[in-house]
């Protein structure tokens, strides 16, 4: 049997576009004499469709287009992800399903049994868990078909508070009673640099435990916050990877069953350099698809001479092209001379349009208007925030006038502790670095400069500063980023308590102060733009904390 793995980039709700992609792959596979094409989870409508699943017309469109795909399956079979109506009197209205299409019709429907309701997932809101476990018989082979989470019956405990078994049933255990020959898993599994090894181990452990080869097909591309890396693969019964698709790219691969299962395993590496490369590629993919799928083409951002805006600019140019990115440099009386020269050097290296607009006079006008109201009070945070908001207004003016979407440049460390100004530097249509800790921003800068200097060296080595008052440095009010990020990672991603973090050797006062800042600034993060997710616990849809609470 020849199987085609179809790792594609879908647009949610673009039925015509998705159908065209799917049919093109089917026709090509048929010409190459493939017997079965495997597409990813909810491929017909894109993932995640969220509350569109609650609209009758949307589900009807899903079924209409599944039938259109089935019409192309007269000489070839297809495994396709789509929602399926629940015909039972009780339960949720839908199943998350894999449709086996053959001979011009739907021959079998496999319902997803394990519905994740953690982190960014909320599938039980929409779907009923499947309870009928049957293999697919095709061309003399019995295939155990599973949908994404169905392989995650056993999971590692990462936070010290949880269970390794979140579900009461193992779909593969049920399917293996029917003696399948291999496993197919169709997935929409988002990228996370902290979980890539875990995902790989989950696939491997299933292949080993059940002594079955495994064919895994994931989607690729980004839909708002979520970035899908693809990475579709084939594993032998020992859990070794024998074939892997490109990451962050559409990829079509033909494999011969069972010959592929006997191929030599691939060498695998997980170095820190590869992790940073993956984060870089994920962010470029996230920017590119956000603009392309929303029908936008041009971006604008404020280029300060600091490392965050520098890295954001490079990523934007890679994603959109230099002709589609514009920057404003908005110096105040506190901006150092090298901040402007560093920003100009980067803009000229990349070939992007830049304008220098001093905000000194505008700040003076604000000071004059507010002078009688602020009389007798020392200058402080309010005056600093006025500068950030003036910059935000100027950037939004360019956005409104010329249709350039404003990119937010704040990093995760700053967002975590509230080191940003609402309606100022927190403005934007998309947050590029909002899930990237400051220490990783530096690593990204070094990765960008791996072959030649693109980001000026001075931008990388100078002490970080918001430059909102004389001689200001981030370290005036924050711990060194190496320490801060260690606290934040353990508190946010690993959900450790203050006492547990202190036992890691970090000073008690610093830990408690940092956690207080994180908790106190939830209201700010609630108002940020969508954040491209590259970790296992990004701010936004994957981390839901109460705004009004005491904790």
DSSP state of 93: S
Among residues 2, 62, 72, 112, the one annotated as catalytic is 112
**Beta carbons within 10 angstroms of residue 263's beta carbon:** 15
- Burial class from Cβ neighbours inside 10 Å (0-12, 13-18, 19+) for residue 92 reads middle
Among residues 45, 62, 73, 148, the one annotated as catalytic is 148
> Exposed e or buried b for every residue in 271-287, given b needs 16+ CB within 10 A?
eeeebbebbbbbbbbbb
> Exposed e or buried b for every residue in 320-353, given b needs 16+ CB within 10 A?
beeebbbbbbbbbebbeeebbebbbbbbeebebe
Q: Is 508 a residue of the active site? A: no
DSSP state of 190: B
Helices (H), 381-426: 381-402, 412-417
- Burial class from Cβ neighbours inside 10 Å (0-12, 13-18, 19+) for residue 30 reads middle
- If we measure between CA atoms, which residue out of 454, 243, 194, 262 comes closest to residue 345? 454
- If we measure between CA atoms, which residue out of 116, 47, 222, 193 comes closest to residue 493? 193
Q: Is 148 a residue of the active site? A: yes
At 466, list the tokens.
């918001």
- Burial class from Cβ neighbours inside 10 Å (0-12, 13-18, 19+) for residue 31 reads exposed
Distance CA 273, CA 86 (A): 46
Distance CA 96, CA 473 (A): 51
At 232, list the tokens.
């579709």
Asked if 211 contacts 203 with a C-beta cutoff of 8 angstroms, the reply is no
3-state secondary structure of 273: helix
Among residues 2, 21, 41, 537, the one annotated as catalytic is 41
Catalytic residues: 41, 112, 148
């Amino acid at each position: 049997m020849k199987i085609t793995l179809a790792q594609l980039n879908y647009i949610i709700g673009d039925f015509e576009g998705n159908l065209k992609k799917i049919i093109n792959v089917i026709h090509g596979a048929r010409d190459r004499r493939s017997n079965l094409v495997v597409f990813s989870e909810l491929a017909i409508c894109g993932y995640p469709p969220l509350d569109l699943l609650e609209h009758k017309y949307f589900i009807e469109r899903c079924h209409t287009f599944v039938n259109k795909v089935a019409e192309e399956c007269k000489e070839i079979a297809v495994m396709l992800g789509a929602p399926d109506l629940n015909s039972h009197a009780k339960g949720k209205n839908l199943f998350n399903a894999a449709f086996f299409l053959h001979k011009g019709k739907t021959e079998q429907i496999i319902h997803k049994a394990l519905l994740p309701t953690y982190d960014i997932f909320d599938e039980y809101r929409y779907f009923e868990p499947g309870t009928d476990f049957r293999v697919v018989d095709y061309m003399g082979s019995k295939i155990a078909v599973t949908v994404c989470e169905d392989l995650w019956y056993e999971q590692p405990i990462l936070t010290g508070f949880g269970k390794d078994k979140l579900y009461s049933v193992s779909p593969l255990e049920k399917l293996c009673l029917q003696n399948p020959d291999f496993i197919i898993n169709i997935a929409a599994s988002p990228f996370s640099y902290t979980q890539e090894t875990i995902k790989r181990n989950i696939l491997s452990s299933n292949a080993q435990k059940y002594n079955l080869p495994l064919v895994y097909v994931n989607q690729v591309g980004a839909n708002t916050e979520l970035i899908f890396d693809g990475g579709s693969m084939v594993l032998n019964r020992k859990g070794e990877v024998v074939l892997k698709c490109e990451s962050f790219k559409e990829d079509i691969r033909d494999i011969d069953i069972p010959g592929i299962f006997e191929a030599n395993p691939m060498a695998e590496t997980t170095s820190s350099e590869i992790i940073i490369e993956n984060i870089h590629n994920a962010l470029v993919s996230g920017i590119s698809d956000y603009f392309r799928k929303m029908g936008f083409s041009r971006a604008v951002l404020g280029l300060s001479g600091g490392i965050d805006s520098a890295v954001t600019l490079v990523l934007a140019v890679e994603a959109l092209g230099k002709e589609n990115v514009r920057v404003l440099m908005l110096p105040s009386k506190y901006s150092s001379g090298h901040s402007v020269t560093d920003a100009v050097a980067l803009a000229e290296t990349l070939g992007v349009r830049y304008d220098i607009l001093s905000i000194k006079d505008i700040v003076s006008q604000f000071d004059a208007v507010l002078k009688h109201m602020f009389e007798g009070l020392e200058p402080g945070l309010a005056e600093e925030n006025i500068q950030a908001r003036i910059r935000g207004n100027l950037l939004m003016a360019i956005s409104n006038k010329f249709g350039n979407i404003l990119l937010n440049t704040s990093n995760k460390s700053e967002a975590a502790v509230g080191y940003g100004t609402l309606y100022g530097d927190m403005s934007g249509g998309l947050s590029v670095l909002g899930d990237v800790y400051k220490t990783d921003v530096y690593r990204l800068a070094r990765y960008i400069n791996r072959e030649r200097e693109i980001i000026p060296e001075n931008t990388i080595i100078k002490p970080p500063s918001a430059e909102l008052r004389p001689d200001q440095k981030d370290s005036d009010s924050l711990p060194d980023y190496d320490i801060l990020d260690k606290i934040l990672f353990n508190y946010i991603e690993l959900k450790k308590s203050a006492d547990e973090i202190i036992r890691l050797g970090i000073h008690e006062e610093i830990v408690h102060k940092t956690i207080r800042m994180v908790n106190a600034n939830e209201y700010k993060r609630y108002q940020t733009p969508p954040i491209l997710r590259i970790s296992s616990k990004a701010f936004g849809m994957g981390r839901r904390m109460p705004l009004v609470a005491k904790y």
